[in-house]
Structure 1
């Protein structure tokens, strides 16, 4: 299923200021919420894949797989890619028996056997197996009702529950997985959970449960996934510097077919922006992996990120007041988080670096105050440039080194001048 890319609210703005052309905050290294590793929409549209039509995944490129893929009804598009696993024979037989309503008990058994074999061997045909088993079950239920008015309903409900569990496969938060084709583009019917320590295609960092009711539509599901996944990302990967530049956010989403089977879960995950690339090792850095001092520092980073992520879309020369209000917010959050860093008791070898960083934040805070009071766009740009100077400065790098955190700023940092300014 192809899903047109939604204009996600977390997509980076056109760069502005000293690090591009007035950079959007999500492109700002240490305190940039998402841009440094390709915030959704950073590379264009979105890719997607789905478990046999049951899931779709959205990512940075938005290029659906070039081949027709299997739907829950067993239909295939033209030009299947080479190397795909074979279609399970029992699934084909189950579908034929189900359609013909011939020997429904045999069709049901074959369908269930096919589901187990497909899960174990990684074969295709899950949609055919489910369809064949469902059709055979209907035939068997009708035969049962000929002899009895009881029991058939319970049997049918039990089967539907089993079908849901077999058809809806989604890894949990913190788990890593491989896709059958090795790519997060196109569609797939299943994923294999693998250890995060080795190479893998994706790592799940959050799950979101949608409310019940009728299927809200692909566009709505994609928008919810876009909003929720980027909002939850810092809870799992607090240190944006530790996320490689070639990693982006993707998400598995329910489709109309899987929704009918009870699927309500959006799975947020990290993947490589190179279709042929992979990940190695876990990207998780939160309270489960950080020590108390690292956590205290990164909590201030996340708080500043959140305000930077609210940078207005309009340039200062288009809407100066809204940019002034945001600059005041930056002034306030730097004061709050600088005080939090100053109040924390740091290890002996980190005391001086952290004191220097607090001083740097105080200096940046003054520039944001001047930007908030700027009488024109040029003055705003000048103090905006200075206000962003702390984010990957030497004080920040030295403090990170003292805490044992990553010291390589994300891609996107530059010393370019703000727009319309002479150099």
Structure 2
């Protein structure tokens, strides 16, 4: 049998029952020192400037608060906050930006799992990121399904291209900002064609090619190949073109090519930098009558074949001249049939008939030129070659054109012309 310890200041009296819990805010029990306070004379702060201070009182009678809890070694008296999940933050950011919604959704789900296991904070962030990412993912699926992404990209490319290039349309006249139509320009001013202007657009075409810019030379070659045929469809009455007018073009630059610009615009301009154009040069179905068009189409088609004449002399390329002479002979047959199939007004009927007769005689000469080339008789080829050319732009052509109200001044071409069609060589404006 154990004997209870005697009652004392530190043990409750068993007969009196358990002692009430001490009031932490009241005075300390008799015989005890306040927590953290040493007996007077031992603690360096136990003496105030006016002698011993009672517990709970600081100098000047201001009361202390309750005693602080003593913390064990290795712990801070302040509770450490739990760490925020970085994945939750990343999920929220991606959800707000809506750039990678699938990634944001995955990060949000992973964050929720880790938050629970690691007792981290950021659950609300992970939930918000997952929800926003889910909405963004649904939006992306809708856009892809309806083709909206493709439309948006095309709109972006169009806007970006327009910021580095400009568009001019067929039949439009304009003034260029520079002193000539050569070089680089970023804009033009549209003006009425009836007044003075620097250039007139007569056609355009789209270049084929990949993402790599083919180079300025390739653009120039494409313009030479495509613009001159377009010229004859816009200004069908080529005799009406002033001698000082030549073909220029707007072409893509390396920068605009990267943004999808493939358009080449063909324009008329004056070869004299100090001169301008005045009045429209357009002469096509919108300005000509039926009879004028019926005469010009066969003549222009034949001219296109004549301009394919080999560059070398017959002595150096007789086989090439033979093939070309055969093409001229065949084209004459087609154009004679085209002119004969039309009825003409009384004022032009005889004149057109005389032109057709000259074309038939010329066709016979070109047939003999083919035979001479087959026999490798260069002298005979020259004889029939010259006679075959006599009718071209001859008197019968002038009278037929005059009868139908077309230009009658024969065009003149410079010797050593570098381009087909008698042009001295146009220029380019890169945009």
Tell me the TM-score normalized by structure 2: 0.58
Q: Hey, what's the Cα distance between the residues in 2 that align with 1:162 and 1:230?
A: 30
Residue in 1 that maps onto 2:168: 171
Residue in 2 that maps onto 1:289: 287
Say what the alpha-carbon RMSD is for the aligned residues.
Answer: 2.6
Residue in 1 that maps onto 2:123: none
Matched ranges for 1:136-285 at <5 A:
148-150=96-98, 162-211=159-208, 213-214=210-211, 215-285=213-283
Residue in 2 that maps onto 1:379: 380
Is 2:157–2:260's contact at 8 Å kept on the other side of the alignment?
A: no
Tell me the TM-score normalized by structure 1: 0.59
Q: Hey, what's the Cα distance between the residues in 2 that align with 1:343 and 1:209?
A: 36
- The CA deviation at 1:306 is 2.2
Matched ranges for 1:14-413 at <5 A:
148-150=96-98, 162-211=159-208, 213-214=210-211, 215-374=213-372, 375=375, 376-412=377-413
Q: How many pairs were matched up? A: 270
Q: Hey, what's the Cα distance between the residues in 2 that align with 1:151 and 1:301?
A: 62
- The CA deviation at 1:321 is 2.6
Instruction: List structure 1 segments (4+ residues) > 6 angstroms apart after TM superposition.
Output: 151-154, 156-160
Is 1:182–1:201's contact at 8 Å kept on the other side of the alignment?
A: no
- The CA deviation at 1:340 is 1.6
Residue in 2 that maps onto 1:18: none
1:227-281 C-alpha deviation (Å, 9 max, x unpaired): 1112322121222211111111111110111123332211111111111111111
Q: Hey, what's the Cα distance between the residues in 2 that align with 1:335 and 1:159?
A: 52
Q: Hey, what's the Cα distance between the residues in 1 that align with 2:380 and 2:356?
A: 25
Is 1:350–1:403's contact at 8 Å kept on the other side of the alignment?
A: yes
Q: Hey, what's the Cα distance between the residues in 1 that align with 2:167 and 2:192?
A: 15
Q: Hey, what's the Cα distance between the residues in 2 that align with 1:413 and 1:388?
A: 18
Seen in structure 2, the aligned counterparts of structure 1 residues 250 and 284 have a Cα distance that, compared at 3 Å, is: same
Seen in structure 2, the aligned counterparts of structure 1 residues 351 and 219 have a Cα distance that, compared at 3 Å, is: same
Q: Hey, what's the Cα distance between the residues in 2 that align with 1:319 and 1:212?
A: 34
1:95-133 C-alpha deviation (Å, 9 max, x unpaired): xxxxxxxxxxxxxxxxxxxxxxxxxxxxxxxxxxxxxxx
Highest Rg: 1 or 2? 2
- The CA deviation at 1:222 is 2.1
Seen in structure 2, the aligned counterparts of structure 1 residues 372 and 178 have a Cα distance that, compared at 3 Å, is: same
Q: Hey, what's the Cα distance between the residues in 2 that align with 1:290 and 1:268?
A: 21
- The CA deviation at 1:194 is 1.0
Greater RCO, 1 or 2 (C-alpha within 8 Å, sep 6+): 1
Q: Hey, what's the Cα distance between the residues in 2 that align with 1:211 and 1:413?
A: 33
Q: Hey, what's the Cα distance between the residues in 1 that align with 2:266 and 2:237?
A: 17
SS at match of 2:303: helix
SS at match of 1:390: coil
- The CA deviation at 1:212 is 5.8
- The CA deviation at 1:161 is 5.0
SS at match of 2:308: coil
Runs of at least 5 residues in structure 1 that lack an aligned partner in the other structure: 1-144, 415-423
Runs of at least 5 residues in structure 2 that lack an aligned partner in the other structure: 1-92, 101-139, 141-148, 416-431
